[in-house]
Amino acid sequence: MAAAVKAPAQAGQASQAGPRWGCLVIDRASRFVVAHASGPREEELAARVFAQTKQRSAGQALPWCSDGWRPYPEQLLRAYRQPVRTGRRGRPPLRLPDGVRLTQTIKHRDERGRLRRVETRATVGAPIEQPALVQVERRNGVCRDRLNALTRKTHAFAKTATTWDALLDLHVFEQNWLHPHLALRQSVVAAGRVYDQRTPAMALHLTDHVWTWREFLTTPICISS
């Protein structure tokens, strides 16, 4: 997912103009966007989302599915490796905990950009069942539909990187808390309703109802340093 940013260089600062890529970490069962980051397509971008996910999941050992971007395996190792005490002198070896796995789906294209074949590779640990990235591709499509700067072949540019990052944050919050997902609805009989609509946040039991924009704007949040 990439957006173009057009911003004039400010005095004493490097220009923010250029493409900004986005990384999204999605929980497949709940469709909840656990972490996201945007910036230049560099290793630091992958490092940020891995660090966010580890913090927000309390360091749980998680299986991962991704595309074939090369920095993913290395940054996953750096984020989750832990020292193993052996009782010997010197630095303990760093190893991944059991359960951390990464399976990548790699698309091979010809010189014209046409898809030739799709390769599934277990990069870290044992292969994961059903490593398809359908949910991620669907989420990218929703982002392109909602945010003009992500639309393909368009003249809509983000004015500044700061504004673009804030807009992406707001969109992710809307999809997690305000927008019911069709795949998460549950059938009910009470009150004459056929289905009970649920958001990804409701699927993770982070809330018991669909939030509104008024609730989002008026709910006080305590921020601790």
Per-residue pLDDT reduced to its tens digit, 85-108: 888 888 888 899 989 999 999 989
**pLDDT tens across 109-148, in order?**
999 889 999 999 999 999 988 888 888 888 888 888 888 8
**Position 209 in a domain:** no
Phi, psi values for residue 89, rounded to 5°:
-75, 155
Residue 200 domain-assigned?
Answer: no
In the predicted structure, residue 208 carries a pLDDT above the cut 90: yes
Residue 121 to residue 124: CA distance in whole angstroms: 9
Strand-pair category, 101-109 with 63-67: parallel
With respect to residue 217, please indicate whether it lies within any of the assigned structural domains. no
In a domain, 214, yes or no: no
Q: Write out the residue range of the structural domain in which residue 119 sits.
A: 2-8+17-82+93-178
Q: Determine, yes or no, domain membership for 133.
A: yes
Number of domains in the chain: 1
Report yes or no: 178 and 199 within 8 Å, Cβ to Cβ. yes
Q: Residue 147 falls within a domain, yes or no?
A: yes
Does residue 54 lie in a domain region? yes
Tell me if 156 is assigned to some domain.
yes
pLDDT more than 70, % of the chain: 89
Q: How confident is the model at residue 39 (pLDDT cuts 50, 70, 90)?
A: confident
